[in-house]
Structure 1
């Protein structure tokens, strides 16, 4: 059987890099991976991690998903070289923490440009080729924050809620083409991005210029964030391989979360999330 052609974004670090490693080391050599980075200056860790597979199972390409020109060049080159794209793995993303009224227009534009618009535009570029072949998988990393709102990461949550809306709607229309959409919804994962998240919470909690209630809520949140259950990257990759990559007909959603988050995500009223995960700090400071 011919190897599956996998196009992956966000490969310079974290989950994206780990996914490329796992696919490249597949014992049955089932995959050819086109691993993209925002700039070739960002490829060093990826190149070192898969050095034995470069230009064999792994081909590194530069692609900034906020630039339509980059998307067109990469997708067309993959089709020209390999004839198809079997799996699209949308992993690239940004996080943003802050006091909601202090977030600048530039920051709003940036996070939506990457997390939402760029991800949608790449998917749009790949879809015609999958429809022509009437097969494919589109696996997109959302977040448990695409199901539940969290204080002080409102813009990140909003971007992931938008991702959920687009891909859930897309899934309903493309199954007739034998294309499966899978939304991966992890809780906190032990990556550089999570370390940055903890630092940002800590920094904002020490900001004397913000409202006292915001500051106290953040100060109550920081210890919880530091001890919050965090998944190992390999655990997430294992579950994506099992439930999305290897499954013939993957389910729309793959929630990777602890019990509290899973329960909050399943509560249709939204109150469970507010009580357990969101505004609990208010009662603690009154």
Structure 2
């Protein structure tokens, strides 16, 4: 079992991106024991290389597929048997999506929500039960600025993040009675393979599937809108792009805070973006702004 002065941190989706960078960052600190999980252990090579001297010392790679109930139950039981607790759960595993609203199939929608919402919430349910018994813990959801603001051509991905934001906000006041904090971390564009993947023609964000032509079967106006949006918004994304390490540092600060905030934007640019929601209750201003990017 981990020493009492060491926080046991579980991170989902660590084969790349924010999950990998956060796991490596925390593992360098002596007061964290990081259980870095991923769906497919065949993809652990990058994490092993990045972990270097912390591998199997303060960073341990384990298998966990949050889209499968059996995998969740097995992992949680094994972790509490071996460690006695989970102090911090970082829900990072997620799939992206890019395409036209009317072209995404039911199967693609279900796959996206299964990982980003249902799988995330199921492991959280299992861990929260144990945290309540200990009256201590921190649940961190890696959301997105897209969880509070709209983003064209990623309708269903944005929908999954909006769902998480609402549930996180509803959980937070109740769990404080058990000394359990809930934080929703809201990055903007991050320079990881995740961002690269959703800019491709992946439509439903289903990992391992062949890319498809997301413009197939749509009208010329819609096709041109998508291309115009990517061409116009691409430079904006580049200007506000962060690294996975940047986001990892924000997450570390959240963990180390005595009273973590419910929502944390990962940069000043994203804070400004979040403020737009608060001063535009009708949503008209932001809708008009986004519409201009499609013209």
Question: Pairwise mapping of residues 38-187 of structure 1 onto structure 2 (< 5 A)?
Answer: 38-187=39-188
Tell me if the contact between 1:184 and 1:256 (Cα under 8 Å) persists in the aligned partners: yes
> Which secondary structure does the structure 1 equivalent of 2:65 belong to?
coil
* Residues 4 and 272 of structure 1, relative CA distance in 2, 3 Å threshold: same
* Residues 275 and 208 of structure 1, relative CA distance in 2, 3 Å threshold: same
Q: Which moved more, 1:253-262 or 1:32-41?
A: 253-262
Aligned residues: 279
* CA displacement at 1:173 relative to structure 2: 1.1
CA distance in 2, matches of 1:232, 1:54: 22
Correspondence 1:22 to 2:25: yes
CA distance in 1, matches of 2:161, 2:197: 18
Per the alignment, residue 241 of structure 1 pairs with 252
Q: 2:263 aligns with which of 253, 266, 276?
A: 253
CA distance in 2, matches of 1:191, 1:225: 17
The TM-score normalised by the length of structure 1 is: 0.92
Correspondence 1:263 to 2:275: yes
Correspondence 1:188 to 2:200: no
Q: 1:3 aligns with which of 2, 6, 16?
A: 6
* Residues 230 and 265 of structure 1, relative CA distance in 2, 3 Å threshold: farther
* CA displacement at 1:275 relative to structure 2: 2.2
> Alpha carbon RMSD of aligned pairs, Å?
2.0
**Structure 2: gaps (5+ residues):** 203-210
CA distance in 2, matches of 1:206, 1:9: 29
* CA displacement at 1:261 relative to structure 2: 2.2
* CA displacement at 1:162 relative to structure 2: 0.7
The TM-score normalised by the length of structure 2 is: 0.89
* Residues 272 and 218 of structure 1, relative CA distance in 2, 3 Å threshold: same
* CA displacement at 1:152 relative to structure 2: 1.1
Tell me if the contact between 1:204 and 1:218 (Cα under 8 Å) persists in the aligned partners: no
Tell me if the contact between 1:10 and 1:16 (Cα under 8 Å) persists in the aligned partners: yes
* CA displacement at 1:2 relative to structure 2: 1.9
Per the alignment, residue 206 of structure 2 pairs with none
Per the alignment, residue 273 of structure 1 pairs with 286
Tell me if the contact between 1:18 and 1:233 (Cα under 8 Å) persists in the aligned partners: yes
CA distance in 1, matches of 2:168, 2:51: 30
CA distance in 1, matches of 2:227, 2:242: 23
The 4+ residue runs of structure 1 with deviation greater than 4 A are 203-206
